[in-house]
Every structure is written in C-alpha cells, then in structure tokens.
A and B are shown apart, each in its own frame.
Chain A
Amino acid sequence: MSVEAESTAPVATRVYKPAMATGWWTHKRHYFWYMVREFTALPMAAWLLWFLIEIQRSGSVKTFRPGTSTAFVIFSFICLLFALYHSVTFLGLAGVIIHIKALDRPVPPRAIVVTMFGLWLVASIVIGAVLIGFGR
C-alpha cells in the first residue's frame, strides 16, 4: 500500500466541526416559514384535544353545540388558517411528488394538483354534509 516518511510533518488530522446554532431557522426566510409550517402541528393537536373535551363536556351527541366560549371560537379560527396553510402547501406539492404516467406520457403536474384540490373540495363537502346531517 504505502510507506510513510519520517519527516517532520505534524500529523494534522484535527478538523473544526462547529455545532449548529440554535437559532439556525432565523437565518433565512425559507427556514423560518418551514418552522412555521411544522409548528402548525402543535396548535392543531391542541385544538383536537380541546374539541374532544368540548364534545365530552356537552354530553350526548344529539344536543351538542360548540362551546359558547369565544376563546374556543377564535382559537378554532386560527387553527383553521393553520390547517389551510398546511393543506395548501402540501396539496400544491403533490404535482411535484407524484410522478405517474398515463399511456406512456407523464401526467402534467398541474393536472395532479388540480385533481388533488378537487378531491379535497369533494371530501370537504361530503364530510361537511355528513356532520351537518348528524347534527340535525
């Protein structure tokens, strides 16, 4: 293989490995919005828990009404915005992630994204109708 010289060269194998700054996500706009996107999971989890508590508190399913506290309403609204932001970014990227071919030609990303949003709309309508139906 190799023979090493008895030269005066110091063996310098030391490298410098800086630790990542805790504020790394403040250094770039893109990183910041990424953290916001990821952060939306927390308030949504909290909202779900609150929602479950509200259900339990109101007793039977038939007479359920959303909590009369305005706090819950405001919080729900904020969480709706978070959910929309997360959903829109996620569905928008479906065109990039889903790589399928129909009849040997790649399906254009726009078609995939439009389909995704369409399915989302349909699902929202169906679930909304079911819930309202239950409510009645």
Chain B
Amino acid sequence: MDFESYDVLVVGGGLAGIRAAIAVVEANPRLKIGMVSKVYPMRSHTVSAEGGAAAVLRPEDSYETHAFDTIKGSDYLADQDVVEAFVREAPIELIQMEHWGCPWSRDPDGKISARPFGGMTTWRTCFAADKTGFHMLHTVFQTSLKYPQIHRHDEAFVTKLLVENGRCEGVVAVDMRSGRFEAITAKSVILATGGLGRVYAFTTNGNICTGDGMALAYRAGVGLKDMEMVQFHPTGLPFTGILITEAVRGEGGYLTNKDGERFLKRYVPNKMELGPRDIISRAMVTEFEEGRGFEGPHGKFMHLDVRHLGEAVIDRKLPFMRELGREFVGIDIVKDPIPVRPVQHYMMGGVDADISGVTPVPGLYAAGECANVGLNGGNRLGSNSLSECLVFGAAAGRAAAEYASSAKPVGSNPVEAMLKDETARIEAGYLDKKGGEERIGTIREDMQRDMDAGAGVFRTRESLEKLTKQLGALRERFTNIKIEDSSRTFNTELTAALELDFMLEVADTITYSALAREESRGAHARRDFPERDDAKFLKHTIAFRTEEIAPRLEYRDVRITNFKPQARSY
C-alpha cells in the first residue's frame, strides 16, 4: 500500500511544538511537516502563562549570571552545558518573537523591557503585560499560518507512537471529529505535549495537561528523567488553582501571613518574595502547619498584597491579574489583598532528551515541558520555561529536520499491522467495552487527591509508599471502567479514559522516583531526608517502563562545567 509520509511530525501545538515546526521550515523549506494536536493550537496551555520569558538582553546582564542563577535555582541538578547553551540562544529567540509581532512591553526608548523575577539576580524577564504566554502562543501560531509546508491535524488524539526496529516512525491517532483511527507516519517525530498537572487535584494546569507525550515515550521505551521534580508555584487562587503570576511579586508584591508578617524574611531574607518557587512554597506550607495561615472554606492561604503599588502600575503591568481577581474571587487587587496558596504548576521531569531534543529512540525528539533536557534540574526559575520552549523547540526542529533529510522512508506494511493492533486495543478496551462499574471521573478524582497528599510539597517514605499502593489500586479499578459514550463522533469520554490511563502511568514514575531519591533537592522535599546529598544523588533519576507497575530506575551523573555545587541559600 502506497502512502505519503511527513518528514517531521510534531505532536502538540503549543509554544515548543509550533516553534519546532517553524524551525524545520527554516532549516529546510522542502520538508513536509505535520502537526497533530488534541486541541486547536490556540487552546494549548502555553496560553495561560503570564509572567514573562527570560533572556540576557541588557548590557549590564551576562550569560554567566543567567546560567548561574538557573543552575543554583535548579539546586545543582541542571546539566550545566545545556544551561550555558540555553542562555546564549534565549535572547535570539526573544528577538525573533519580536520580529514575528509579539507585543513585548517596552522601555521609554522603545527597546524590550524587563522585570525582576524569582531567583534572577538581575532584571531579565521580558514580558507582554501579564499575558506573555497568550501573546507568544498567538504570535507563533499566527506566524505558522504563513508556511504551506506545515499541515495541521487539529483535534486528533495520539494514542501510541509507532516504533519499528527501534526507530520511531509516526503515531496512531484518533480523529476526534470522525472517530477514525489513523496512522500518521513520519521520518521523525517531535513530542511537544506539555506538562502533567492534572495528575494533581490542585493545579494551575488546564484540562489538557495529562502527560500524554511522557506516557507515549515511556511506553516506547524512552526513560522519564527526574520525575520526582514537580514544581509547586507559591501563588495560586484557592479553589480554582488559577495562577497568580510571579510577576505580581516581581513588581513589588508582599506575601504576608495571618499576623501581617512578611514571613519570608525568616526563609529567604536576601531575596524575600523573589526567592525561588520551591523554597517559597515550602515556607508557606511550613507557616500553615505552624498555624500562621489564614483559614478559608477552600483551605489555608496567605495574602499577596499589591495595594501599595497603586492603580496606575497595576493597570499597566498587571491588568489580567486585576481581571482574574474581580472575576473569580470578587476582589479588586487595588484595594484588597489576594488570597494565595501553593499549587502544582510545572513539571521539571519529563522525557529523557538531550540538548537537541534527541531521545534514545532514533527519530524521536522531545521539547518543551514534556521533555527534560537538563535545563531546570530540581527547580525551574520563573520565566525560564517560555524561553525554554523556544530554544529547545527550535533545537529539536533543526535536529529533526537534519535527521529527516537523510532518513529512509517509512515502510507501509509494518505500519498497517501496528495500526490494526492499536485500533483493536482501543476498541476492545474502551469503545466496545461492555459492563464495568467504575466511573472515570471518580478514579481520576481519587488519583488527584492521593497525589496531592502523597507527593505534594513535602513527601515522606510513608506518604510515598502509601501512594504506590493507592495508585496500584486505582490501576486495578481502571480495568473495570464504564464507558457510557458509545458514539464515535467527538467521544470525549474515550479521550478522558485514555488520558487517565496516561496519567496513572506517569503518576507511578513520579512516586517511585520520589521514593528512591532519599534527599531533599529543589522541589523534591523529603521530611525524612531534609538535607541535600550530593555524594549519593548529584544524579538524574531515569525511570524505565517494566512489565510490573514499578519502573526500573537508573541514575546518570549531572554534567558539571563551570559551577561547582554549593549550599543553596538566598
């Protein structure tokens, strides 16, 4: 059977994915690029990023400082060669965004402005008011429309990577509109599927952040690196988990406890509200546990106060925050403090990829939040992620383009067989399944609640071991799910079930990786091992899928170049 094949297929239509696609065109305009996303690209979760994107753009700044800030911020788990390359590429990418029309906020002289941000020693976070992710995503998406080489498959849900003879050759996807199963083949595949926040109950992440790409790669034999490193952002709105950007603190906001005290002076006296996210989140939880948090119907919270900034600054720099406060909490941040509490936000862990997005499976690449290229280590600094998506999206695009330019075409017979198998698996397991007693929503909510309790800001051996058992029980219950939607047309119960399947898988990698890392580093805080242990754990955890539930864990040394690990205090 003859069919066409893409040279590069991008899975995921967010900032990293679209940037990768454009990079392929730029590298080789003769290549044919496919982009498959389970939502229309402008719905990708990049859109909700608020604060900004960091890069060295000012003369008083230096690559070395940005690199050091990032490496120290990572609690020395970052691969330093990757960081050093990243800080050199980031400024170029932000200028490229500007050329593509991104409405960066400006200084009076017309140059791109920058604001202070957590863990950054100088002002290097460029921003577009407080909707940076929104503007960046719409900029790259709209720019991508001018390239006829990019063919989009919108609302196609990828269920499996096609791997033949150890080489990645494409994906199987369900076209949501028609319910048809399709094999989309390609000489190279770039995973850019974002994070997995929805494994937690309280998260800033949208519904679509279910770790799909991580699970797909995991099932294809790729290791998931540093999965225990889950970032909790200090300032989420109670109940909804909606993100209140770090930029609020960057512009001068204060975090106060029940006693009206700027409590961070006892935790990060030199940086105060601009300390790194992991330390501030732990500080807030500690304050809660010691009784100095406000009590509310949706849990304990602190106050984030910007009243002293004045209406003019707020309307100019934080208008979206004012809108969110009014809309979802019924407050005016000009006059009222904002209730905030730590919330799951970002995944440092992800698909094991190198500086060019190359994974151990030939033809498979990964970029953006779903990948772990070694940039963020144990804790990501705010505003490094948007830059990360651009730098490593472009790098993966270029690497995939080069690979695809010389790779052999994909053989059709094996693909047909794989497609048939995958179709049968999903039809038998989900669409044509009869009976079952468990509701998908209930299993999901139980998983989310268990993850919040067992693998939250603070972990213990007991909480993690209990969690492994809970997740095991949930997997059992998952085999007994009930599918009420028998339609093939836009079946969102099927996608919810497939997403839950992915989430249970990656949740296990988080839990087992966390159990094995018997130290506290970055965002991974063990009450039973409160100190950092460079002798044993200056290494990346890599989780490989096995026949059992527990992954096989391997360790890989962190690459140190110029910055020797030191004690981390702010």
Q: Which chain A residues have a beta carbon within 8 Å of chain B's beta carbons?
A: 1-13
Contacts and interface: CB of A to CB of B under 8 A. Distances in A.
B183 A2 contact: yes
Contacts of A7: 180-181, 423, 427
Given A7-B423, A9-B488, A1 B184 contact: yes
A1 B180 contact: no
B5 interface: yes
A48 B151 CA distance: 57
A1 B427 contact: no
Interface residues of B, number: 27
B433 to A, nearest CB: 14
A32 B412 CA distance: 60
What is the interface of chain B mostly: helix, strand, loop, or mixed? mixed
Contact of A9 (B4, B6, B178): B178
A3 B415 CA distance: 9
A130 to B, nearest CB: 50
Interface string B1-14: 10111100000000
Contacts of A11: 178, 180
B37 to A, nearest CB: 15
Contacts of B420: 5-6
Interface string B504-536: 000000000000000000000000000000000
9 contacts: A1-B34, A2-B185, A3-B3, A4-B181, A5-B182, A9-B179, A9-B488, A12-B487, A13-B177
A24 to B, nearest CB: 27
B416 interface: yes
B240 interface: no
Nearest to A10: B488
B140 interface: no
Contact of B419 (A3, A8, A9, A12): A3
Given A3-B3, A12-B488, 6 more contacts: A1-B4, A2-B185, A3-B185, A7-B181, A12-B179, A13-B178
Contacts of B180: 4-5, 7, 9, 11
A5 B178 contact: no
Interface in B405-423: 412, 415-416, 419-420, 423
A5 B416 CA distance: 8
B121 interface: no
A2 B182 contact: yes
Contacts of B487: 12
Contacts, number: 54
A11 to B, nearest CB: 6
Interface in B201-236: none
Contacts of B182: 2-5
What 9 A-B pairs are tightest by C-beta distance, nearest first?
Answer: A5-B181, A1-B4, A12-B489, A2-B182, A3-B183, A9-B179, A5-B423, A9-B488, A2-B184
Most chain-B CB neighbours within 10 Å: which of A1, A2, A8, A11? A2
A12 B489 CA distance: 6
Nearest to B172: A5
Interface string B147-187: 00001010000000000000000000000011111111100
A13 B178 CA distance: 6
B5 to A, nearest CB: 7
A1 B36 CA distance: 12
Contacts of B4: 1
A9 B180 CA distance: 6
A12 B180 CA distance: 9
B481 to A, nearest CB: 20
Contacts of B34: 1
Interface in B223-271: none
A9 B177 CA distance: 12
A28 B170 CA distance: 50
A6 B427 CA distance: 12
Most chain-B CB neighbours within 10 Å: which of A1, A3, A9? A3
Contacts of B177: 13
Contacts of B184: 1-2
Given A7-B423, A7-B427, A10-B488, A1 B181 contact: no
B465 to A, nearest CB: 42
A1 B415 contact: no
Contacts of A8: 427
B89 to A, nearest CB: 32
A6 B489 CA distance: 17
A108 B427 CA distance: 62
A6 B178 CA distance: 14
Contacts of A3: 1, 3, 182-183, 185, 412, 415-416, 419
Contacts of A10: 179, 488
Nearest to A13: B178
Contacts of A4: 180-182
Interface in B378-433: 412, 415-416, 419-420, 423, 427
Nearest to A8: B427
A8 B179 CA distance: 10
B477 to A, nearest CB: 27
Given A11-B180, A13-B178, A1 B489 contact: no
A70 B489 CA distance: 66
A106 B375 CA distance: 45
B416 A1 contact: no
Contact of A2 (B3, B179, B416, B488): B3
B530 to A, nearest CB: 52
Contacts of A1: 3-6, 34, 151, 184
A11 B487 CA distance: 11
Contacts of B488: 9-10, 12
B553 to A, nearest CB: 37
Contacts of B3: 1-3
A11 B179 CA distance: 7
A45 to B, nearest CB: 44
Contact of A5 (B1, B412, B419, B489): B419
A9 B181 contact: yes
Contacts of B427: 7-8
B179 to A, nearest CB: 5
A112 B390 CA distance: 44
B200 to A, nearest CB: 34
B277 to A, nearest CB: 40
Nearest to B156: A2
Contacts of B183: 2-3, 5
